[in-house]
Structure 1
Amino acid sequence: MTKTIHVCDHRTAEALYPFDARGVAKRFRHAAIFGALESLMPGETMRFCNDHDPLPLLAQMQQRYGDKVGIEYVQREPGAIVIDFTVIG
């Protein structure tokens, strides 16, 4: 039997760190996300998983970090959003 694996469920490479926002209380999410991003070194990536497309968060990130953080959707399906946030040197 074949099991479908969500992209957030697999082991990651050394410079790719998973962050599953679904397990963080809503009132703490943005603070936790910004704290995690600020702990990354240039070239490292946080793989962000969520149950909805975080458009307000992306706007805040653009305002706060500008082009210092790359944003790339890995998966964009209803209920399963995965975005790679990469710190740019």
Structure 2
Amino acid sequence: MQANSPFLFDARSIAKRFRHAAIFGALEALGEGESMRFVNDHDPLPLIEQLRRRYQEQLHIAYVQHADGVVVIDFTVHPAGTAQGCGSGDGTGCGCSGG
């Protein structure tokens, strides 16, 4: 994986109505090869499905911890050319949102 530690994103501290938008924004800010460590109080299955549809194979999703009341997931952006999907190819992350 990468030498740098993942950026922490603790969804438990964000109001539920803003969580998905904040998560998508944080993922869009990641550069190729960077990871975000997502922490939540439940398994975000609808979010995972949205991410898989939106980012396809460019986003690697790995559960780190799955216990009662704590779910930790690492989201890693694949470098351009190593996975099929929607990559911008310019080193700026996925670029799905166009901004």
Pair in the same fold by TM > 0.5: yes
Query: Which digits, 9 at most, give the CA deviation of each residue in 1:52-80, with x for residues without a partner?
Result: 00000000000100011000000001101
Please list every run of at least 4 consecutive aligned residues from structure 1 whose deviation after the TM superposition is greater than 2 angstroms.
Answer: none
As a proportion of its length, which structure holds more helix? Answer: 1
Alignment-derived partner of residue 57 in structure 2: 67
Counterparts in 2 of 1:16-55, with a 5 A limit?
16-55=6-45
As a proportion of its length, which structure holds more strand? Answer: 1
Of 66, 79, 84 in structure 1, the residue corresponding to residue 69 of structure 2 is 79
For the 8 Å contact 1:15–1:43, the answer to whether it is kept is no
Q: What percent identity do the matched residue pairs reach? A: 61
Alignment-derived partner of residue 4 in structure 1: none
CA RMSD of aligned residues (A): 1.0
Q: Normalization by structure 2: what TM-score?
A: 0.75
CA distance in structure 1 between the aligned counterparts of 2:43 and 2:68, rounded to whole angstroms: 8
What amino acid is aligned across from residue 75 of structure 1 in structure 2?
A: Q
Alignment-derived partner of residue 90 in structure 2: none
Report the number of matched residues: 77
SS in 2 for 1:38: helix
Unaligned runs of 5+ in 2: 80-99
Unaligned runs of 5+ in 1: 1-12
SS in 2 for 1:67: coil
